[in-house]
Structure 1
Amino acid sequence: MKKRISLLLLVVLALTLLAACGTSKPAEHAGASTNDAAKTEQKKELKFGATAGPYSDMVNKVIKPLMEKKGYTISVVEFNDYVQPNKALASGSIDANLFQHTLYLEKFATDNKLELKSIISVPTAPMGLYSNKFKSLDAIEAGSTLTIANDPSNLARSLLLLQDIGLVTMKKDVNPATASEKDIAENPKNLVIKPVEAAQLPRTVDSTPLAVVPGNFALAAKMDLTKALKLENMAENYRNIIAVKTSDVDSQFAKDLKEVVQSADFEKAIDEQFKGFSKPEWMTKKAAK
């Protein structure tokens, strides 16, 4: 009898242990489901990076108030270079940024092995050729010094502007994302091209005969875009974009950002506060309908 009772107790104990093991798995799954739900919960507090000047103004004056109407809290982080905004985005220090065009984003992400992606393009200040010495393109003298941005993105874009004007001719099949002064095939006026930091270009307008100045730096220096000898005919891949981490492309906040930029309120604010900005093709096509 004692043996039977002992055996029965062992069976009961074994069944109890099995039941405990069986019930632990659903608890784990429940925890996983809770974590997944937390991950997909809509993010309402966003840090938005932008370079100091017109694009931080665009975020502060237009994007931020429109997103706040949707229930978001937006804090704007200003940067003074073209490297840190993407590194901060990739690290999660910020949730979105606005400072660069598509070609720069793609090259930077590839070179630095970062998972970043554009969600929409925005109206962009065009690059221009400025001079306080010459009043027209025809008046440009041979051998004049011309300052130009030394970062790959703006350098390539500046050279394409000079080619469109007819001041230089680039080599055939040059990569527009990596073009440099070494890719110049013809320079009929023998211009002395001097690369400098992009942020310093507005200052060089007073000290050198010619300067190619990116629109954001021109506006930050309170230059009049309409005073340029020539403004660029901007290609779509040179228009500034809002970028997020690739994993956030389909997030609700990314969708809301895109919806805000596509809104009539956004375009109205751009027309009123950012005169002279070149609108992206998607916006001009919408207006033509």
Structure 2
Amino acid sequence: MKKLLLTCMMIVLVAALAACGGKDKKDSADEKSLILGATAGPYSEMLKKAIIPGLEEKGYKVELKEFSDYIQPNQALNNGEIDANLFQNTTYLDNVVKENNFELSRLIIVPTAPMGIFSNTFKSIDEIKDGSQITLPNDPVNAARALIVLQDEGLIEFDPNIELLKASEKDITVNEKNLKFVPIESGQLPRSVESTDLAAVPGNFALSAGMDLLDALALENMPDQYRNVVAVKTENLEKQFAKDIIEIVESEQFEKVIDEEFKGFGKPEWMQ
């Protein structure tokens, strides 16, 4: 009985060790398999052309998952369905984390398509006539961005005591051209160029509509908190794949691809 019991214990021990060994091997393989998420459009293309090739050179097997809205990418990241995503700016990410108690963090800021002032009526800012109508985003954050571009171009002035990133039409103190502001849904802004004098179009919507950022009368000098970021689960910030993504984004090859394939994208401060 003792020999039989000893034999059984040995079999169980060997099986357990084999299982542990198999698990370690699987985990090791999983560390070289990544799923990256993005909304369809320029940032999905940035992953394809500027980040995934670098990861593959480092031995990773990478799958790209595209999403059709701005809700699912963070849910998938928080649930562990994907390893990183690229589609949102820091301000949006911070709000999502706060509202949903997600454990997500910014990994690195990337070049981002800026908002542009587009027009089929005027060829330059200097040509803008008195009483011109401009469409702009109807959400507060992007509306503030649009108004800041107009101030940077000398078309309006704000109360100097306001928090600029929360600026609204009511904070305008000088409007010498008597611009008429028409807030509309951001997705409709590219089409509005055909029916109005000016349109303030966020870069991602402009590109999705086939517009050329370099055709804009003016491009936004975007603060870093409005630039898009690669995000990961907070617990993965120090993982090797996260460090490798940072290394790739900070490389000369990455910047070369941005300069060649993503013309008009504004670069974050760390790249200046």
Give TM-score, length-normalised by structure 2.
Answer: 0.80
Per-residue deviation at 1:38? 8.3
Aligned match for 2:76, one of 75, 79, 88: 88
Equivalent pair of 1:157/1:176 in contact (CA under 8 Å): no
1:212-251 equivalences in 2 (<5 Å): 212-251=200-239
Matches within 5 A, 1:43-192: 43-192=31-180
Counterpart AA for 1:91: N
CA distance in 1, matches of 2:38, 2:44: 5
Segments of structure 2 that go 5 or more residues without pairing to the other structure are: 1-18
Which residue of the partner structure matches residue 209 of structure 1? 197
Distance, in Å, in 2 between the alignment partners of 1:58 and 1:165 is: 29
Indicate the residue corresponding to 1:258 in structure 2: 246
Paired with 1:179 and 1:104, the residues of 2 have a C-alpha distance of 17
Question: Is the partner of 2:210 in helix, strand or coil?
Answer: coil
> Is the counterpart of residue 280 in structure 1 residue 268 in structure 2?
yes
Calculate the aligned-residue CA RMSD, in Å.
2.8
Equivalent AA in structure 2 for residue 161 of structure 1: V
TM score, norm. by length of structure 1: 0.76
Deviations for 1:41-98, whole angstroms, at most 9, x for unmatched residues?
A: 8622222222222111111122112111222222222234433322332233322111
Amino acid at match of 1:212: A
Whole-angstrom distance in 2 between the partners of 1:146 and 1:134: 12
How far apart, in 1, do the equivalents of 2:174 and 2:69 lie? Answer: 31
Aligned residue type for 1:157: R
Change (3 A) 1:182 1:116: farther
**Residues 116 and 202 of structure 2 are in contact (CA less than 8 Å); yes or no, is this contact kept in structure 1?**
yes
Give CA-to-partner distance per residue, 1:87-136, whole Å, 9 cap, x none.
Answer: 33223332211122222222332233322211111122221101101222
41 and 179 in structure 1: CA distance in 2 versus 1, 3 angstrom threshold: farther
CA distance in 2, matches of 1:163, 1:179: 11
Aligned residues: 253
Distance 1:111 1:141, change over 3 A: farther
Aligned to 2:38, the other structure's residue is in SS state strand
Over 3 Å counting, the alpha-carbon distance change for 1:173 and 1:255 in structure 2 is: farther
Per-residue deviation at 1:157?
1.7
Structure 2 CA distance for partners of 1:244 and 1:181, relative to 1, 3 Å? farther
* Structure 1 unmatched ranges of 5 or more: 1-30, 285-289
Distance (Å, rounded) in 2 between the aligned partners of 1:36 and 1:158: 52
Alignment check: 8 A CA contact 1:123 1:277 kept? yes
CA–CA separation in structure 2 for the residues paired with 1:191 and 1:38: 62
Take 1:71 and 1:37, find their aligned partners in 2: how far apart are those partners? 16
Q: Which amino acid aligns with 2:56?
A: E
Task: Name the residue aligned to 2:4.
Answer: none
Q: 1:168–1:186: 8 Å Cα contact kept in structure 2?
A: yes
Offset, 1:195: 2.3
* 2:171 is aligned with 1:193: no
